[in-house]
Amino acid sequence: MESLNEPAYRAALKALAPLAEENILEIGFGMGETTAEIAQQHPECDYLGVEVHTPGVGSLLARVEKLGLANVRIVQHDAVEVLQHMVAPGALDGVHVFFPDPWPKKRHQKRRLLSSDSVAQLARVLATGGELRFATDSGDYACEALRTILTNGAFAWRACIRAKAQKTCVKTRASTTMRRSKRR
Ligand SMILES: C[S@@+](CC[C@H](N)C(=O)[O-])C[C@H]1O[C@@H](n2cnc3c(N)ncnc32)[C@H](O)[C@@H]1O
């Protein structure tokens, strides 16, 4: 992993899309349906999808080719390590975490993607004003995520955005939007 720590590598990540209005990272895109749909709707933004599952990576690659998308990049690697080693502080305008594995059994819940450590990493890589969009259909996970994110102190849950997100959540699958605030 040492080479991933190289400043040049970090700079290269940002330099992939220098003209993009926003650089968005998506964690765990699954088969990539939502990624491709959002990327098609927003050609002005650049999307870096991180996924470990090979069939999912293949599926998104096929969608990118079929739709002729020029604003999607893929890293097939553990998102926790990507966040820790490959993304410079404040490099991202947004992070999407849509329907992460819910791990409903109590004894498995420590495997959940959203933890105080990963939220600290998200706070590090998001620029001030950047958005973290988190969606889940597990009520228990939603409560835990909200508690963990708010406990971090770097994020504010914006009621106006929340209302908007609730209205559009079917389209964007974003049910919770947190904005990276100035105060830590
Ligand atoms: C339940 S699926 C959700 C997929 C998609 N976001 C959706 O809404 O349909 C969770 C995805 O996260 C991926 N995943 C889980 N842990 C991951 C990690 N540490 N790094 C990257 N991807 C991960 C899984 O491979 C899986 O495809």
Q: List CB contacts of 183: < 8 A, sequence separation 6 or more.
A: 153, 154
> How far apart are the two ends of the chain, measured CA to CA in Å?
29
Cα-flanking dihedrals φ and ψ of residue 180, to 5°?
-70, 115
Which SS3 state, helix, strand or coil, does residue 116 take? helix
Q: How far apart are CA 127 and CA 37, in angstroms?
A: 24
Which SS3 state, helix, strand or coil, does residue 118 take? helix
101 pocket-lining for ligand 1 (C-beta < 6 Å)? yes
98 pocket-lining for ligand 1 (C-beta < 6 Å)? yes
Domains of the chain (ranges; CATH) run 2-180 (3.40.50.150)
126 pocket-lining for ligand 1 (C-beta < 6 Å)? no
Per residue in 89-123, pLDDT tens? 998 999 999 999 999 999 999 999 999 999 999 99
Of 78, 101, 117, 137, which one is the catalytic site residue? 101
* pTM confidence score: 0.86
Q: Which residue has the higher pLDDT, 161 or 119?
A: 119
